[in-house]
Amino acid sequence: MTNPLLATWDTPFGLTPFDKISDEDFTPAVEIALASHKAEIDAIAGSGEPASFANTIEALEAVGRDLDRVLSAFYTVAGADSNPAREALQRDFSPVLAAHFSEVSGNKALFARVAAVWEARDELDLSEEQARVLMLTHRGFVRSGAALEGEQEVRIKDIKGRLAVLGTEFTQNLLADEREWFMPLSENDLAGLPDFVIAAARAAGEEKGADGPVVTLSRSIIVPFLQFSTRRDLRETAYKAWGARGANGGETDNRAITAEILALRSERAQLLGYENFAQYKLETEMAKTPDAVRDLLMAVWEPAKAQANSDAEKLTAMMHKDGVNGDLEPWDWRFYSERRRKELHDLDEAELKPYFQLDRMIDASFDCATRLFGLQFKPLDVPLYHEDCRAWEVTRDGEHVAVFIGDYFARGSKRSGAWCSAMRSQAKFPEVQAPIVINVCNFAKGTPALLSYDDARTLFHEFGHALHQMLSNVTYESVSGTSVARDFVELPSQLYEHWLEVPEVLAKFATHAETGKPMPAELLEKVLGAATYDMGFSTVEYVASALVDLEFHDGDVPADPMARQTEILAGLGMPKAISMRHATPHFAHVFSGDGYSSGYYSYMWSEVMDADAFEAFEEAGGAFDPERAAALEANILSTGGSRDAGELYVAFRGRLPGVEALLKGRGLAA
């Protein structure tokens, strides 16, 4: 019987046939696909023909299709619907895949052919995109260690394999801590909680098999609990559990793993001739150097810290007025900040939340894409990997553009956070393939499902990534969609968040869950007026994480990352009542893989651009200005990584941005 992962998929739009795949299919499929990919690579490397762009660079673009399909299916379910079998497979696959791709990038005969094409590049009459693909391919081989010899070559392969194992262990430890901990709530423990929080806690209790409501470590439950619970003792318990993820001792403790990861990254960078990992990592980004990153973060840190310290004094006074003496603690901030928000802006999260129905916010994100880019969304009835998932066909002018999948609800089998990935990326070579894009979120279930304003922004953010994938219009998959510099990839996603704040969008789609009536004009004004409320807090918790990430990788390797984290925060004058958004033992962006290592700053680097880019719309005909929308698609959303990120931004805006628009947008300008 043919393995369904390797069979021809006669499904609508070539979607993965999840209803026919079992966990037992993954191992044999990976083994066969790896062997096939190895044979394809060996054929390119061993060709008797002189190296050319077609038989070397384009040939590399065309191989590994079976492996891509198998790994896409596996890592989709491993991240969003894990189980013990899939976790075991992840642990098995990590070193095998690391060794395989190390062998490819370290293949001397293959690298010699790539290098030969690179040396002859000026004589090849390549298109701009082809020249870019050649440069990125050659650079990728060099940065992976293809030019190393002897012991150094062996060592870098060992390092890559070990890092793959450690990243998997880090992720699974974090998932285990998030999955296992929950706090049962008696009826007396519900004091202060609005109905939507109680409903989410009851739904979480059902999923955990508990006899009643529970607080879990899902952000969509624990944050509103910290905002509204009048039980300071329970807020403290929940907050400390949330902060202790990955640092609870025992088998799931990540602290030793982070130390080893940092040491191995530093050694890898030095083998490749760099002073440290930050310099290695940032070479390919827009920022280029650690100093450029540090300058940006510190330009934002000082005004944000000043605002946060000022806010802390006011929240402390409120707490003391309640008869609670002592210092404001991290489990107090959200509670008193929510009360202060209600006082300052007459804005109550409990009053606001019924206007942010999940389905209406999905409709809103689609409607904005229709108005900006002419996209249409039609629901699809197709087998997916979990009953919570939904799918749509995306078309424009009657032509198929993409398939979009949404997986929105939190569950114990899903890792925390929110993300976008392409199960299949857009390309025109070796054949035309339309993208299949998925957004994964962790919203609380409900009837109907209600979002916080922050949840709604997350939905728009991830859909901005999806648009970057869906509107991609390049030839080669290696530069398709979000295959761009890490500090550029967040531009489309963060820019799209701005459309949630457009008054006409909220007026149309922020309708009450029970009455169906649109949000009253005065409430809408309060929402928009409070958009920069508590921005000192949110900026400090983010920038602190970004600076810790940078300092970890730019300088001597810390023997004890937790001690170094404390030292860095003390040097910054971190406000006592605010914690890093992601403390080291649960900083998955940085330690589950190399993606955001030395790169967590990239959200803010992109925010400098997104604030400036949205100003371009406002300076023109408004949020839906057709000329600006066309320019955004032509210069950024459709181009992927086919050109330098800085060039693309200048092509859209006419210049590079400064930090002023960001500070203004966050309400931190002097």
Strands (DSSP E) along 68-186, which ranges?
A: 182-184
Rg (CA), the chain: 25
**C-alpha–C-alpha distance, residues 336 and 322, integer Å:** 10
Residue 670 has pLDDT above 90, yes or no: no
Q: What is the pTM of this model?
A: 0.93
25-29, 117-121, 225-229, 654-658: least confident range: 654-658
Confidence at residue 669, expressed as pLDDT on a 0 to 100 scale? 83
**C-alpha–C-alpha distance, residues 284 and 595, integer Å:** 13
Reference 86, options 438, 415, 424, 410; nearest CA is 415
Strands (DSSP E) along 354-458, which ranges?
A: 376-380, 390-396, 399-409, 419-424, 436-443
In the chain, the N- to C-terminal Cα span, in Å, equals 69
Q: What is the 8-class DSSP label of residue 215?
A: E
Q: Is 624 within 8 Å of 371 (Cβ atoms)?
A: yes
> How do residues 453-511 score in pLDDT, each as one tens digit?
999 999 999 999 999 999 999 999 999 999 999 999 999 999 999 999 999 999 999 99
Q: Which of 462, 490, 541, 633 is catalytic?
A: 462
Residue 31 has pLDDT above 80, yes or no: yes
**C-alpha–C-alpha distance, residues 314 and 311, integer Å:** 5
What is the DSSP pairing of strand 399-409 with strand 390-396?
A: antiparallel
Confidence at residue 529, expressed as pLDDT on a 0 to 100 scale? 87
Alpha carbon 643 to its chain centroid, in Å, reads 22
pLDDT band at 211 (very low <50, low <70, confident <90, very high): very high
pLDDT band at 17 (very low <50, low <70, confident <90, very high): very high
pLDDT band at 347 (very low <50, low <70, confident <90, very high): confident
**Cα dihedral sign for 133, 134, 139, 140?**
positive
How many CA atoms, within 13 angstroms, populate the side-chain half-sphere of residue 318?
Answer: 19
Confidence at residue 298, expressed as pLDDT on a 0 to 100 scale? 96
**Element spanning 214, H or E:** strand 214-216
**Element spanning 579, H or E:** none
Reference 631, options 644, 618, 650, 646; nearest CA is 650
CB atoms near residue 622 (< 10 Å) = 11
> How do residues 177-203 score in pLDDT, each as one tens digit?
999 999 999 999 999 999 999 999 999
Q: Which domains does the chain have, with CATH numbers?
A: 12-147 (1.20.1050.40), 181-245 (no CATH), 251-347+535-600 (1.10.1370.10), 354-529+603-665 (1.10.1370.40)
Confidence at residue 658, expressed as pLDDT on a 0 to 100 scale? 86
In sequence order, what are the residues at sequence separation of 6 or more whose Cβ sits closer than 8 angstroms to the Cβ of residue 117? 51, 52, 53, 56, 57, 124, 134, 138
Average pLDDT, the chain: 96
In sequence order, what are the residues at sequence separation of 6 or more whose Cβ sits closer than 8 angstroms to the Cβ of residue 75? 421
Q: What is the 8-class DSSP label of residue 404?
A: E
Confidence at residue 72, expressed as pLDDT on a 0 to 100 scale? 98
Question: Residue 405: phi, psi to the nearest 5?
Answer: -120, 135
The alpha carbon torsion through 159, 160, 162, 163 (nearest 10 deg) reads: 110
Task: For residues 35-59, give the mean pLDDT.
Answer: 98
Confidence at residue 183, expressed as pLDDT on a 0 to 100 scale? 98
**3-class DSSP assignment, residue 502:** coil
> How do residues 102-151 score in pLDDT, each as one tens digit?
999 999 999 999 999 999 999 999 999 999 999 999 999 999 999 999 99
310 burial type by CB count under 10 A (0-12 exposed, 13-18 middle, 19+ buried): exposed
Task: For residues 370-382, give the mean pLDDT.
Answer: 98
Largest CA distance in the chain: 83
pLDDT-above-70 percentage for the chain = 100
Residue 514 region, left (φ>0) first, then alpha (ψ -120 to 50), else beta? Answer: alpha
Confidence at residue 348, expressed as pLDDT on a 0 to 100 scale? 86
In sequence order, what are the residues at sequence separation of 6 or more whose Cβ sits closer than 8 angstroms to the Cβ of residue 92? 27
Confidence at residue 431, expressed as pLDDT on a 0 to 100 scale? 96
| 462 is a catalytic site residue | yes
> How do residues 214-228 score in pLDDT, each as one tens digit?
999 999 999 999 999
Q: What residues does 353 pair with on adjacent strands?
A: none
